[in-house]
Amino acid sequence: MGKGKAKRGIPSKVDDFNAWYPFIVEAAELVDKRYPIKGMDVWRPYGWRAMKLIDSLTHSEMERTEHEEVNFPLLIPENLLDKENALVARLKRAREEGVDPDDLRDEEEEGGFKKEVYWVKHAGENELDIPMFLRPTSETAMYTMFPLWIRSHKDLPLKVYQMVNTFRYETKQTRSFIRVREIHFFEAHTAHADEECATRQIEQDLEIVDNLMHDLCLPVIKARRPVWDTFPGAWYTIGIDAIMPNGRTLQVASCHHYRYQLAKAFDLTYENLDAEQQHCHQTTYGMSERLLGAIVGMHGDDNGLIMPPAIAPYQVVICPMIRKNSEVDTIAKSEEIAAILKSAGLRVKVDKRDIHAGQKYFDWEIKGVPLRLDIGPRDIENNSAFAARRTGGKEPLPLDNIVNECNRVLSEISDELRTRAAAHTENVVIPLTDLENVEDGKIYEIPFDGTDSHAETIERTTGLAFLGDSTDPYNEEKPCLMSGKMTTRRVILAKTY
Amino acid sequence: MGKGKAKRGIPSKVDDFNAWYPFIVEAAELVDKRYPIKGMDVWRPYGWRAMKLIDSLTHSEMERTEHEEVNFPLLIPENLLDKENALVARLKRAREEGVDPDDLRDEEEEGGFKKEVYWVKHAGENELDIPMFLRPTSETAMYTMFPLWIRSHKDLPLKVYQMVNTFRYETKQTRSFIRVREIHFFEAHTAHADEECATRQIEQDLEIVDNLMHDLCLPVIKARRPVWDTFPGAWYTIGIDAIMPNGRTLQVASCHHYRYQLAKAFDLTYENLDAEQQHCHQTTYGMSERLLGAIVGMHGDDNGLIMPPAIAPYQVVICPMIRKNSEVDTIAKSEEIAAILKSAGLRVKVDKRDIHAGQKYFDWEIKGVPLRLDIGPRDIENNSAFAARRTGGKEPLPLDNIVNECNRVLSEISDELRTRAAAHTENVVIPLTDLENVEDGKIYEIPFDGTDSHAETIERTTGLAFLGDSTDPYNEEKPCLMSGKMTTRRVILAKTY
């Protein structure tokens, strides 16, 4: 691995990603980690703007696909969880015993969630009759209400989503955006008439993922998780994993197809056209602030962040050269240009600070503003702005056509980020041929059609986790690495966050 | 009081506001109160849209006034509260003993907040070392971080805000938007170099209030709260009260000037131009979902809500007349008109349901859509749409100029709502001349320059609360109702929510 350069105290990303990441997150003023609860950071204005711009892309996709936004209470009474826990326990037993879950009866068992939630058992000076917990996710809260909203086939599909704070009592080491205890969370929940409609919803979810990842310039792996890594209560789970620079994968989103399993637990039925009561089929689609973590990790370099233009809080920063006694008003000209760009919908900042230009450049590079325009007396004379791309490269841009020129350059910067990310993916995701020969920092793919026990052997031998079956299988059959059976199943193995 | 008409089960607003309000909140699908925690409602899509449109007006004002958005953790460790509690206790003692608070020492005392918060003392299966509580408001969380962000005069003013969920353990009867346990909350917090700068911030806050209330068509009373009703730790508090139909006032916003009091408690200093350490002067400006409660209460009528156009989720609903075997495609025409209106920035819904027109009208009246356009074959023939205002009145609008016509009508509807609200205010807010003769449903104003004991007598005799000194004093001096001293102080008395 080449020796990366360290610039003014920024750790080298290539040499020491684990030091670079937390440094850059604070140096770019995305969050402040000094709040006195571990894993609960303060979102600073710049970080919160970036996050909200990611959210607004999601809002647009939700509107396009006719999801409606709701907002559920944060607190969930413990007793609401009972139905779900009983179901999850039953599914687990059915899986272990190899029988149909419908043949088993519910049993009281502590669900896994209970060990990971924050509890509210006291209010004021009182102990509460029924303990409540802070939502780790909202299935329980929502599916308690859905039966009140769904009566007949006319109420279907029900497609709602919310963007809220969720909580998880993390005992592992926390990391900004990646592993936190208060999570900025997106969750869409849908109910449908039958399995097929629910399956189409999952397909739509994956299409939304593609659209978002295009804007964020993030390549992802979409994989149907193995049975043992399926979300509790789900029929199947598709995990969406971003690839981090160190070759670890970071799950940034997931979709769950519940079939009618949760509907049975929550008595969620509808009257069909034949006046019969049917169970709904349900899906969930979740994403979180991990998207921002992936952006930070994937695109940044030794000078700081590189923000994809679609979510850059400032897409363009204009730096007027400030010379005392100059006859040319570079600040006025910069503001004029900023006004033109803003009226065209671009997010623009004029840095009027009377400090050394090098300091300005340094500040905006750390923050990852994709395009910087320098405006000096000579630029004004030439009726141009001197453009510096955060991805590298400088050129003069004619002021007469500045909106189109900026849009062109920003679009090229997005393309450059996609090209770099794709090259990284290609470099990192490689076929595994020898279980004994696993390289650090790589993600492996294998043709696989073996048993759970085969999978266990692979995980134990390689130290890698099964991400599951890629939604993009092989074009032609290949022999399974373990069983030798011919298959098109492309299974992904990785070290995960 | 006249007998209001009841329509299809809607209680009469005039006769029984206490039944009308909760009915309409659910019938219009703003929230669902059936969530199994009292005072924690589920925001349904229509209600959440309205709330977010109110929020977006606030965001615009925040951007105009150069506040930056942040997002702080929900949980606050109990020990952070100690500084604030000691201060509040000291201020209270100083007030009671009539001495300068700086002459008193801090004493441990339980702050009032502790009795009103939800506690997190457990996580997973562990008891936490330091109990945490869900924020009722964020002074404590923020002022713990401000000293890390403010070093010199160059860091001032610091102006931040957030929109978050806050919590209050209400023991009184809950009421949607008005008294809830999870509160959708706005809070701006600022730090300044001196008292004067902080005072100017309060003036700017009140200007923002005026702008928002204009858009929401809500008349409000702004009153400097009496000492005993000042926010703990504040030098003074200005409460902003909306006037509800039953003559009660509802505090929808408040501004607090802390002077340097909290800065002392939190060690918040900056280095001034003379290289001296100075305490900051701070302010807070808060608002909540009560704004929506005031809108519901103030503008609605016996047919349902009336949404002010500025925050109506749908400003225009288009109802195509659906006649079987008609040769004219009213739905296509309606969608064509909707597309034109939407591209002009209007929020529009086409109601294509194949149900009786009366049912559609009923549904959209309950939801308070300000303008309905009916499109039938004859309207299309005349190249017009038949417009029905939610505030009353019908007229044909020429389709050739439909954007301008809709904007004109919406603007007139806003004016009509303002006129109605102003008339209500004029009718309800009256001078008090005789303490023994207080009418239900009225708000009183008095010239007042008496003592706290005078005030207590008034409150006891009338059963009304002191809202405080109106920010709009009398133009000329009048004799104080109790002491006879000449004064321009206009004090407002009301029954409050």
Angle at A485 between CA A483 and CA A487, to 5 degrees: 125
By Cβ distance, the residue of B123, B148, B164 closest to A118 is B123
Of B135, B29, B114, the C-alpha closest to B364 is B29
**If residue A256 lies in a helix (H) or strand (E), which one and from where to where?**
strand A249-259
Contact predicate A339/A316, CB 8 Å: no
User: Which two tokens mark B240?
Assistant: 């902003």
Residue of B nearest to A43 (CA): B71
How distant is the Cα of B99 from the closest Cα of chain A, in angstroms?
A: 31
Task: Report the distance separating Cα A205 and Cα A58, nearest Å.
Answer: 11
A148 to chain B: which residues are within 8 Å by CB?
32, 34
* Contact check, Cβ <8 Å, A71/B169: no
For residue A112, the model assigns a pLDDT of 64
User: Which two tokens mark A35?
Assistant: 């709040």
A34 to chain B: which residues are within 8 Å by CB?
145, 148
* Contact check, Cβ <8 Å, B117/A123: yes
Interface mutation vs chain A, best among B40, B132, B167, B171, most A CBs within 10 Å: B40
What is the dihedral angle through the alpha carbons of B116, B117, B121, B124, rounded to the nearest 10 degrees? Answer: 140
SS3 assignment, position A413: helix
Residue of A nearest to B40 (CA): A73
* Contact check, Cβ <8 Å, A32/B119: no
**If residue A259 lies in a helix (H) or strand (E), which one and from where to where?**
strand A249-259
Contact predicate A240/A252, CB 8 Å: yes
* Contact check, Cβ <8 Å, B73/A122: no
Residues 6+ apart with CB under 8 A from B338: B316, B318, B348, B349, B350
- Going by DSSP bridges, is the β-strand pair B126-134/B118-123 parallel, antiparallel, or unpaired? antiparallel
* Contact check, Cβ <8 Å, A169/B132: no
By Cβ distance, the residue of B116, B122, B125 closest to A124 is B116
Residue of A nearest to B43 (CA): A71
Contact predicate B215/B462, CB 8 Å: no
- pLDDT of A111 higher than 70: no
C-alpha B151, offset from chain centre: 34
* Contact check, Cβ <8 Å, A122/B125: no
Of B27, B16, B51, B43, the C-alpha closest to B364 is B27
* Contact check, Cβ <8 Å, B36/A144: yes
Cα atoms found within 13 Å of the Cα of residue A157, Cβ hemisphere only: 22
- Phi (first) and psi of residue B238, to 5 degrees: -110, 120
Task: Report the distance separating Cα A450 and Cα A332, nearest Å.
Answer: 69
For residue A4, the model assigns a pLDDT of 44
Angle at A404 between CA A401 and CA A410, to 5 degrees: 130
How distant is the Cα of B32 from the closest Cα of chain A, in angstroms?
A: 9
* Contact check, Cβ <8 Å, B73/A184: no
What are A75's strand-pairing partners? A134
Task: Report the distance separating Cα B258 and Cα B143, nearest Å.
Answer: 12
Angle at B323 between CA B322 and CA B325, to 5 degrees: 135
User: Which two tokens mark A56?
Assistant: 């607004």
Task: Report the distance separating Cα B299 and Cα B415, nearest Å.
Answer: 12
Contact predicate A63/B94, CB 8 Å: no
pLDDT tens, A270-325? 999 999 999 999 999 999 999 999 999 999 999 999 999 999 999 999 999 988 77
Q: What is the DSSP letter of B129?
A: E
A121 to chain B: which residues are within 8 Å by CB?
119, 121-122
Of A414, A416, A434, A442, the C-alpha closest to A482 is A434
A143 to chain B: which residues are within 8 Å by CB?
none
A176 to chain B: which residues are within 8 Å by CB?
none
Task: Report the distance separating Cα A101 and Cα A89, nearest Å.
Answer: 10
Task: Report the distance separating Cα B2 and Cα B233, nearest Å.
Answer: 46
User: Which two tokens mark B42?
Assistant: 């589920």
How distant is the Cα of A478 from the closest Cα of chain B, in angstroms?
A: 45
A74 to chain B: which residues are within 8 Å by CB?
40, 74, 165, 167, 182
Residues 6+ apart with CB under 8 A from B386: B373, B374, B375, B376, B379, B394, B395, B396, B397
By Cβ distance, the residue of B70, B74, B121 closest to A182 is B74
How distant is the Cα of A298 from the closest Cα of chain B, in angstroms?
A: 24
For residue A5, the model assigns a pLDDT of 47
Of A392, A462, A451, A441, the C-alpha closest to A420 is A392
Task: Report the distance separating Cα A319 and Cα A363, nearest Å.
Answer: 12
* Contact check, Cβ <8 Å, B37/A77: yes
Angle between helix B195-216 and B290-299 (nearest 10): 40
Alpha helix (H) residue ranges in B182-319 = 195-216, 261-265, 290-299
Instruction: Tell me the count of A-B CB pairs closer than 8 A.
Output: 136
More confident residue, A394 or A232: A394
* Contact check, Cβ <8 Å, B48/A70: yes
Q: Residue A104: pLDDT band by 50, 70, 90 thresholds?
A: low
Q: How far is CA A97 from CA A86, A92, A329, in A?
A: 16, 9, 79
Task: Report the distance separating Cα A322 and Cα A330, nearest Å.
Answer: 7
Angle between helix B195-216 and B45-64 (nearest 10): 140
Task: Report the distance separating Cα B491 and Cα B470, nearest Å.
Answer: 6
How distant is the Cα of A267 from the closest Cα of chain B, in angstroms?
A: 16
Residue of A nearest to B149 (CA): A32
Give the domains, in start order, of chain B with CATH numbers.
24-74+135-298 (3.30.930.10), 316-420 (3.40.50.800), 429-494 (3.30.110.30)
B44 to chain A: which residues are within 8 Å by CB?
70
* Contact check, Cβ <8 Å, A124/B73: no
What residue ranges in A78-169 does DSSP mark as E strands? 118-123, 126-134, 158-167
Q: What is the DSSP letter of B464?
A: -
Contact predicate A4/A300, CB 8 Å: no
Q: Give the predicted TM-score (pTM) of the model.
A: 0.95
By Cβ distance, the residue of B71, B77, B115 closest to A37 is B77
User: Which two tokens mark B158?
Assistant: 């610091």
Q: What pLDDT tens digit does each residue of chain B (497 aa) get?
A: 334 444 578 999 999 999 999 999 999 999 999 999 999 999 999 999 999 999 999 999 999 999 999 999 999 999 988 777 777 777 777 777 776 766 665 554 445 678 899 999 999 999 999 999 999 999 999 999 999 999 999 999 999 999 999 999 998 999 999 999 999 999 999 999 999 999 999 999 999 999 999 999 999 999 999 998 888 889 999 999 999 999 999 999 999 999 999 999 999 999 999 999 999 999 999 999 999 999 999 999 999 999 999 999 999 999 999 887 778 899 999 999 999 999 999 999 999 999 999 999 999 999 999 999 999 999 999 999 999 999 999 999 999 999 999 999 999 999 999 999 999 999 999 999 999 999 999 999 999 999 999 999 999 999 999 999 999 999 999 999 999 999 999 999 999 99
Q: Which residue has the tokens 């009561």?
A: A277
By Cβ distance, the residue of B52, B73, B169 closest to A42 is B73
**Backbone Cα Rg of chain A:** 26
A144 to chain B: which residues are within 8 Å by CB?
35-36
By Cβ distance, the residue of A40, A77, A118 closest to B36 is A77
Angle at A180 between CA A177 and CA A182, to 5 degrees: 105
User: Which two tokens mark A383?
Assistant: 């009726």
- pLDDT of A108 higher than 50: no
ipTM of the complex: 0.94
Identify how many contiguous H helices and E strands chain B contains and give both numbers: 12, 25
How distant is the Cα of A313 from the closest Cα of chain B, in angstroms?
A: 12
Interface mutation vs chain B, best among A70, A126, A190, most B CBs within 10 Å: A70
Task: Report the distance separating Cα B476 and Cα A361, nearest Å.
Answer: 59
C-alpha B124, offset from chain centre: 37
Contact predicate B489/B447, CB 8 Å: yes
pLDDT tens, A136-178? 999 999 999 999 999 999 999 999 999 999 999 998 999 999 9
pLDDT tens, A21-32? 999 999 999 999
**If residue A396 lies in a helix (H) or strand (E), which one and from where to where?**
strand A394-398
